[in-house]
Amino acid sequence: MNAGKSIFSQLTEFLPAQEFRQCVARYQGDYKLKSFSCWDQFLCLAFAQLTYRESLRDIEACLRSQQAKLYHMGIRGRVSRNTLAHANSVRDWRIHADFAQVLIAQARELYLEDSFGVALEQTAYALDATTIDLCLSLFPWAKFRKHKGAVKLNTLLDLRGNIPTVVSITHGQVHEINILDELTFEAGAFYVMDRGYLDFARLHKLHLASAFFVTRARKRFDCQRLYSRPVDKTTGLVCDQTIALNNFYPRQGYPDKLRRIRYFDSEKQKRLVFLTNNFLLPPLTITQLYRSRWQVELFFKWIKQHLRIKKFYGTSENALKTQIWIAISVYLLVAIVKKRLGLEGSLFRILQIVSVTLFEKTPILEALSLQDDDAKLDDLCKQLILFN
Average pLDDT for the chain: 91
- Arithmetic mean of pLDDT, 285-314: 93
Rounded Cα distance between 180 and 178, Å, is 5
Percent of the chain with pLDDT over 90: 78
Rounded Cα distance between 373 and 340, Å, is 24
Question: Cα angle vertex 342, ends 104, 120, to 5°?
Answer: 60
Question: 49-53, 132-136, 370-374: which range is least confident on average?
Answer: 370-374
Judge whether 277 and 259 are in contact, CB under 8 Å.
Answer: yes
Domains in the chain, please, with CATH? 195-279 (2.20.25)
Name every residue whose Cβ is closer than 8 Å to that of residue 30 and which is 6 or more positions away in sequence: 24, 37, 38
Q: What is the pLDDT of residues 169-187, one digit of tens each?
A: 999 999 999 999 999 999 9
As a three-state string, the secondary structure of 293-330 is: CHHHHHHHHHHHHHCCCCCCCCCCHHHHHHHHHHHHHH
More confident residue, 388 or 352: 352
**How far are the Cα atoms of 182, 184, 205, 217, 251 from residue 211, in angstroms, in the given order?**
15, 10, 9, 19, 19
Rounded Cα distance between 329 and 15, Å, is 10
Q: According to the model, what pLDDT value does residue 72 have?
A: 87
Positive or negative: CA dihedral 49, 52, 54, 59: negative
Q: What is the pLDDT of residues 25-72, one digit of tens each?
A: 999 999 888 889 999 999 999 999 999 999 999 999 999 998 888 888
Q: According to the model, what pLDDT value does residue 3 have?
A: 53
**Does 304 score more than 80 pLDDT?**
yes
Judge whether 260 and 273 are in contact, CB under 8 Å.
Answer: yes
Q: Model confidence at 380, in pLDDT bands (50, 70, 90)?
A: very low
Q: According to the model, what pLDDT value does residue 371 have?
A: 55
Q: What is the pLDDT of residues 2-32, one digit of tens each?
A: 557 899 999 999 999 999 999 999 999 998 8
**Does 386 score more than 80 pLDDT?**
no
**Does 372 score more than 50 pLDDT?**
no
State if pTM tops 0.85: yes
- Arithmetic mean of pLDDT, 72-98: 93
Q: According to the model, what pLDDT value does residue 301 have?
A: 93
Q: CA dihedral defined by 3, 1, 324, 202, rounded to 10 degrees?
A: -170
**Does 370 score more than 70 pLDDT?**
no
Q: Model confidence at 344, in pLDDT bands (50, 70, 90)?
A: confident
Q: According to the model, what pLDDT value does residue 220 have?
A: 83
- With b for 16 or more beta-carbon neighbours within 10 A and e for fewer, the 98-136 pattern comes to bbbbbbbebbbebbeeeebebebeebbbbbbbbebebeb
- Arithmetic mean of pLDDT, 341-359: 90
Rounded Cα distance between 216 and 274, Å, is 4
**Ranges of H-type helices in 174-312:** 200-208, 248-253, 283-291, 294-306
**Does 291 score more than 60 pLDDT?**
yes
Q: What is the pLDDT of residues 206-262, one digit of tens each?
A: 999 999 999 999 888 889 999 999 999 999 999 999 999 999 999 999 999 999 999
**Closest to 52 (Cα-Cα) out of 369, 351, 321:** 351
Rounded Cα distance between 19 and 33, Å, is 19
